[in-house]
A and B are shown apart, each in its own frame.
Chain A
Amino acid sequence: DIVMTQSPDSLAVSLGERATINCKSSQSLLYSSNKKNYLSWYQQKPGQPPKLLIYWASTRDSGVPDRFSGSGSGTDFTLTINSLQAEDVAVYYCQQYYNTPNTFGQGTKVEIK
């Protein structure tokens, strides 16, 4: 199974500042035939189901604010939240869909400093 490791486990960021979450996979998520990284990011607010933010490592889902961006390739990926807003307080998960079983990172909790 592909192991997904996020860092840090939690972080506190001031309103308007940048939050950076890292996700590392135990093997490459880059599929050579289509040059796509099989990596997605989800946001889960308290008491709510997860919500898709990013897929193919860097494509924002419809309606996701552009302060959210994804980057990286191969085994190292980053979710960046520019200009953190109060409504961004949540746990963020990365997920690989390169092969079965789908595996998620352990989650990163983002709070306001």
Chain B
Amino acid sequence: EVQLLESGGGLRQPGGSLRLSCAASGFTFSNYAMSWVRQAPGRGLEWVSSITDSGAATYYADSVKGRFTISRDNSRNTLYLQMSTLRAEDTAEYYCAKDHRGNYVPGYFDYWGQGTLVTVSS
């Protein structure tokens, strides 16, 4: 059974930093691209970032480019999102999502984690 378990969310002040993690199990993690998708309270889904299976290529939404960094550790089956220079508008539930393919993005997301809440407020 595929499982994606996010952690690391919390409350930060504007300008602060946070690192999210997503522990994956139930599939060969190193064979699939992975992504982060966020959802502000009461709002729709917004793609944030993707990384290919090997980690060789990364992609970012314009809204986070230069502030967020996606990475993965295939030996630990874990996806990360390093978030810096946080803004109030980054407040959202952050979902880890498995892509249906490996070395090319974008794709559709066949599994999602339960999410971790990031709140940016003073």
Contacts and interface: CB of A to CB of B under 8 A. Distances in A.
A106 B44 contact: yes
A49 B47 contact: no
Nearest to B49: A101
Interface stretch (A16-24, A72-80, A92-100): A92-100
Contacts of A97: 106-108
A61 to B, nearest CB: 7
A49 B110 contact: no
Contact of A52 (B44, B50, B110, B115): B110
Contacts of A107: 44-45
Q: For chain A, which range describes its interface: under 10, 10 to 19, 20 to 34, or 35 or more residues?
A: 20 to 34
Interface in A54-113: 55, 61, 93, 95, 97-107
Given A49-B95, A100-B105, A93 B44 contact: yes
24 contacts: A48-B114, A49-B112, A49-B113, A50-B45, A52-B108, A52-B109, A52-B110, A52-B111, A55-B108, A61-B110, A93-B44, A95-B45, A95-B109, A97-B106, A97-B107, A100-B50, A100-B105, A100-B106, A101-B47, A101-B59, A102-B106, A104-B46, A106-B44, A107-B44
Closest 8 CB pairs of A and B: A40-B108, A49-B112, A102-B47, A97-B106, A102-B106, A104-B45, A55-B108, A107-B44
Interface of A: 40, 42, 44, 48-52, 55, 61, 93, 95, 97-107
